Structure 1
C-alpha cells in the first residue's frame, strides 16, 4: 500500500467514524444552534428594560452600538471558547476511546501506519470544527439580518463575520494538543480533566496580566471578552502563536502514535 493510498483510507475511515459519532452530533448541534441563540439573546437582554443589577453590569458592553455588529461580536466571543470545548471533547473521544477500551491494537494491525491514522484523525477533527464554526457564524448572521430587518440588503457587519470565523477557528485549533493528552493518558476522562484544568489556568493567567502571550487566552481577548483595552493589546504575533498551537499539537500526537507499542 502506497503512502497516498494509506492516507486516503485513513481519512475515509475517520470520516465515517465522525459521521456515526454521538459526541460529534451533540457538539455540532450545540455549536450551530446554541451559539447563534446565545449571541442574539444576550444582546436582546442587554438592551431590554429587564436587564438590571448584576445582569445589566455584565452585559453593559452589548447595550449600545450597531445591533448586527454587536451580535457578531458576541458570537466571536462565545465561539472562541465553545469551539475549544467542543473540539476538546471530540478529540478526547476520537483519540482516547480506542486506546482506553483496548481496540487500538486492531487498528495497528492494519497496513496503514499508526502516524497516518493519527494525522487523519487530526485533519478530520479540524475539518469538522471549521465546518461547525462557519455554520454557527452563518446562522448567527442570518438571524441577525432578520432581527435587524436587513434581510435582502447589504449586510453592514461583514468585518464581524470575518472576526467571528477567525476567533472560532483559533479556538478550535487549540483543541488539538488534547489529542496528545488523550494519547499519553489513554483516558477520555483524563483528557476532559486536562481541558477543564487548562480553562482554569487560562483564567489565572489573564488575571495575572499574561493573557496576550498565552495561546489559550489570546483569541478570546482579541474577540473582546476582556474589554476593548485587552482586545487592543492583542496583535498579530499573539494570534500567530495561538494559530501555531494546532500544527504543533498535530505533530506531537502523530509522533506519539508512531511510538505506541504496547496497546
Structure 2
C-alpha cells in the first residue's frame, strides 16, 4: 500500500505538470459549456443560416436549460474521449518511448503499481473535468434562463445526471489506450489508433450496430443520433461500456508487469 501511495503521488504530480493535461482541461472547461450554450442559441435565433438549420434542428425546441445540458452531454461524450485518449497516449507511451520506464527497474514501487496509479490518476482528473463541465453548464444555463425568463425546472437535473454518467463512462473508455501505448511504445501510434477507433465508431453507427459498440453507445445514449437511437441503448449496453475501464486497467497493468521481462 505504501508503494502504491508513492506511485500515486508521483503520477499525480506528473499529471498536474503535464502541458497536455493543462491544455485539455482548459479546452474542456471552456469549449463544452460555451459550445452547448452557443449551439442552442444559434438554433433558436431567427437569423440562423439555412445551411445549418437541419443540423441544429434538435436544439431548436424543448426546455432551454434541459437542452443546454443535453447538448453539453453530447459534446462531452466525444470531447472527453479525445482528450483522455491523448493524455493516456502521453502518460504511458512517452515514458516507454523515452526509456524512463526502464529506469523504474529495481525500484521499490513495482511497474504494475505505477501503471495502476497512472490509470487511477487520469480517471480522477477526467472525472473532475466531467463534474466541472456539467456544473459550469448548469450555472451558465441558469444565468441564461434568468436573462430570457425561461424556466429552470426540475427536469434539468435528470439531464445533468445523464451528462455526468455519460461523461464518466467516456472517461472509462480512454483506459485501453494506455494499453495500446504500452504495446506500441509510441504516443503517436496510440493517437493513430484513437483516430481509427473514431472512424470505426462512425461505421458501426452507420450500420446500425452502434448500441453494442462501447465507443458509440455513450454518444447515442445522449441522443446524439436522435431519441430513437437513444432508446436502443439500455442497461446491457451501458454495462458493456462500463466494463471497458476495468478490462483496460487489467490489461495495461499486466502489460507493464511484463515490461520487467522485456
TM range (shorter): over 0.9
Residue deviations 1:190-213 (CA, integer Å, cap 9, x gap):
000000000000000000010011
Q: 1:225: which partner in 2? A: 224
The one of 36, 57, 61 aligned to 1:60: 57
Question: How big is the shift at 1:111?
Answer: 1.0
1:97 to 2:94 alignment: yes
Question: How big is the shift at 1:155?
Answer: 4.9
1:5 to 2:7 alignment: no
Aligned runs of 1:13-162 on 2, under 5 Å? 13-149=10-146, 155-156=153-154, 157-162=156-161
Once residues 162 and 61 of structure 2 are traced to their aligned partners in structure 1, the CA distance between those partners, rounded to angstroms, is 19
Once residues 40 and 108 of structure 1 are traced to their aligned partners in structure 2, the CA distance between those partners, rounded to angstroms, is 50
Q: Which runs of 4+ in 1 moved over 4 A?
A: none
Once residues 32 and 155 of structure 1 are traced to their aligned partners in structure 2, the CA distance between those partners, rounded to angstroms, is 24
Once residues 87 and 220 of structure 1 are traced to their aligned partners in structure 2, the CA distance between those partners, rounded to angstroms, is 16
Question: How big is the shift at 1:106?
Answer: 1.1
Residue deviations 1:161-196 (CA, integer Å, cap 9, x gap):
111111111111100000000000000000000000
Q: Is the 8 A contact 2:72 2:163 kept in 1?
A: yes
Q: 1:179: which partner in 2? A: 178
Higher deviation after alignment, 189-198 or 105-114? 105-114
Aligned runs of 1:160-239 on 2, under 5 Å? 160-239=159-238
Residue deviations 1:241-261 (CA, integer Å, cap 9, x gap):
001101100000000001113
Q: 2:246: which partner in 1? A: 247
Once residues 56 and 107 of structure 1 are traced to their aligned partners in structure 2, the CA distance between those partners, rounded to angstroms, is 55
User: Normalised by the size of structure 1, how large is the TM-score?
Assistant: 0.96
User: Normalised by the size of structure 2, how large is the TM-score?
Assistant: 0.96
Q: 1:261: which partner in 2? A: 260
Structure 2 alignment gaps of length 5 or more: none
Aligned residues: 259
Say if 1:45 and 1:154 are closer, same or farther in 2 by CA, change over 3 A. closer
Q: Is the 8 A contact 2:162 2:222 kept in 1?
A: yes
Once residues 36 and 122 of structure 1 are traced to their aligned partners in structure 2, the CA distance between those partners, rounded to angstroms, is 26
Question: How big is the shift at 1:19?
Answer: 1.0
SS in 1 for 2:215: coil
Higher helix share: 2
Q: Is the 8 A contact 1:145 1:155 kept in 2?
A: no
Q: Is the 8 A contact 1:83 1:169 kept in 2?
A: no
Residue deviations 1:141-169 (CA, integer Å, cap 9, x gap):
00000001189x97531111111111111
Question: How big is the shift at 1:108?
Answer: 2.6
Q: Is the 8 A contact 2:65 2:152 kept in 1?
A: no
Pairwise CA RMSD of aligned residues? 1.4
SS in 1 for 2:52: helix
